[in-house]
Amino acid sequence: MGGLSGRLTVCFVTLAVAGTLTACSSSKSPSNTARSPASSAAVPSLDAGAFTADFSLMKQLTGLASQGKGMIGVLLPDTTTSARYVTYDAPYLTQAFQTAGLSSSQFKVDNAQGSASTMQQQAEADITAGASVLLVDPLDVGSGAAIESNAESKGVKVIDYDRLVTGGPADRFYVSFDNVKVGQLIGQGEVDCISAWNVSKPNILIMDGDPTDNNAKLFAQGYNGVLDPKFKDGSYVKVGEPAGTWDPPTAETTFEQQFTAHPNINAVVTPNDDNANAVISVLQKDQIPAKTFPTTGQDASPSGLQNILKGYQCGTVYKPIYLEAQAAAALALYLRAGVTPPSTLVNATTQDTTLSKDIASVYTTPIWVTTENMADTVVKDGAIKVADLCAGPLASACQAAGIS
């Protein structure tokens, strides 16, 4: 895919609670077309910023859940590009739906295990089983758009989950974090770490995510926006920006080749924890000391958090997935009940550069996590257990970071 031809545009959406969603064709089932509630008091007006780690807000949607018809299908991409889909997304989505009152037969969470054809089959199975809403986190935008277009043609509402499906149906919704902001946190984290670790004459390798992933483009837009002024004024040197990937073994090979060709590299922008871990394995093999060679990350994975405590990773972008999962589940419940979601939930728009159209979106807020705030964020939220984080030689590092 080519470079990002547009940029993420954030604005508040002026959707009225009592408004209507217009179906795309007359072939759609009336039961899947949004309708105004008889009384605005009957429909909770949830705020995208109000979800909490205890999932208590989802209990306000039990009435909406009882109104709705059809199953909600969730299609997750794989188990390799990030550990989050198994560790966080699937259980959090399940908890959100169950807390709102759905039974196990009213929702289904699948993982495509890296196969676009498997995801297509899972989508078809959900539609055949009576799905009225699909949440789609695609492996690539082409297969994702095909899945969504087919679903919409059969009267099924679609939500892009975490990744924008550029070229998908124009009236779909999108639930994610502000991904340009995620990239900006990565870029600023690199800058702060270079200063804190006293890296003189920074020679930085930029390692991107997979170019077919729209999120990877937005992350790059964010961190390049922070770093480009440093490159232009000569305070930093950009050594290179090789082809991106979400595959850790490929990232490891790429970095090893770049480090061999350019031994002056002394800092790397890595767009997620798994890629960072691949780079760090090379640094450790080459006996590079801790707190001398900044890397960055995203997802607040166990390996990323431990690498931060070890002094090999500057920080990670924590995207509290329990917030994203609840927001997506809540949106799906409004659509399943045929009710227009409130503007307090649908709080932004995202530009689909393929359609040249703004997609109604729900954004939750990412956080940059370091040793300084790890105890008050991921640990406090229960995103990781202290026993798992602080095992073995990391016990003293946890104690120093106030984690107990």
Over residues 330-376, the pLDDT tens digits come to 999 999 999 999 999 999 999 999 999 999 999 998 999 999 999 99
Q: Provide the pLDDT for residue 19.
A: 35
Q: Provide the pLDDT for residue 43.
A: 79
Q: Is the pLDDT of residue 73 over 90?
A: yes
CB atoms within 10 A of CB 41: 8
CA distances from 257 to 38, 209, 262, 265 (A): 64, 17, 8, 12
Instruction: For residue 250, give every residue at least 6 positions away whose Cβ sits within 8 Å of its Cβ, in sequence order, or none.
Output: none
Q: Provide the pLDDT for residue 268.
A: 98
* CA 17/CA 14 separation, integer angstroms: 9
Q: Is the pLDDT of residue 21 over 90?
A: no
What are the pLDDT digits (tens) for 144-185? 999 999 999 999 999 999 999 999 999 999 999 988 999 999
Mean of pLDDT values over 62-79: 96
Q: Which residue has the tokens 């072939």?
A: 27
Query: Ramachandran region of residue 130, left (φ > 0), alpha (ψ -120 to 50) or beta?
Result: left
Q: Is the pLDDT of residue 117 over 70?
A: yes
52-56, 261-265, 290-294: segment of lowest average pLDDT = 52-56
* CA 92/CA 267 separation, integer angstroms: 35
* CA 275/CA 145 separation, integer angstroms: 27
Pick the closest to residue 223 from 272, 274, 186 (CA basis): 186
Q: Is the pLDDT of residue 126 over 90?
A: yes
What are the pLDDT digits (tens) for 235-249? 999 999 999 999 999
Q: Helices 273-285 & 248-261, crossing angle to 10 degrees?
A: 50
Mean of pLDDT values over 216-230: 97
Mean of pLDDT values over 72-96: 92
Q: Residue 29's pLDDT band (boundaries 50, 70, 90)?
A: very low
Q: Provide the pLDDT for residue 84.
A: 84
Residue type, 303: S
Q: Provide the pLDDT for residue 42.
A: 64
Mean of pLDDT values over 44-49: 91
Q: Is the pLDDT of residue 2 over 60?
A: no
Burial class of residue 50, CB neighbours in 10 A (0-12, 13-18, 19+): middle
Q: Is the pLDDT of residue 325 over 70?
A: yes
| Tokens found for residue 191 | 């800058």
Q: Is the pLDDT of residue 23 over 50?
A: no
Q: Residue 231's pLDDT band (boundaries 50, 70, 90)?
A: very high
Residue type, 123: A
| Type and span of the H or E element at 328 | helix 321-336
Q: Provide the pLDDT for residue 39.
A: 41
Q: Residue 25's pLDDT band (boundaries 50, 70, 90)?
A: very low
Q: Is the pLDDT of residue 12 over 80?
A: no
Q: Is the pLDDT of residue 132 over 60?
A: yes
Q: Is the pLDDT of residue 379 over 50?
A: yes
Q: Provide the pLDDT for residue 82.
A: 76
Q: Provide the pLDDT for residue 9.
A: 38
Q: Cα 337 vs. chain centroid, distance in angstroms? A: 26
What are the pLDDT digits (tens) for 294-307? 999 999 999 999 99
Q: Where are the alpha helices (DSSP H) in 262-320?
A: 273-285, 302-310
Q: Provide the pLDDT for residue 36.
A: 42
pTM (2 decimals)? 0.73
* CA 222/CA 231 separation, integer angstroms: 15
Mean pLDDT of the chain: 90
- Helix, strand, coil tally for the chain in percent (to 5): 40, 15, 45
Q: Residue 205's pLDDT band (boundaries 50, 70, 90)?
A: very high
Burial class of residue 268, CB neighbours in 10 A (0-12, 13-18, 19+): buried
Q: Provide the pLDDT for residue 30.
A: 34
What are the pLDDT digits (tens) for 271-289? 999 999 999 999 999 999 9
Distance between terminal CA atoms of the chain? 46
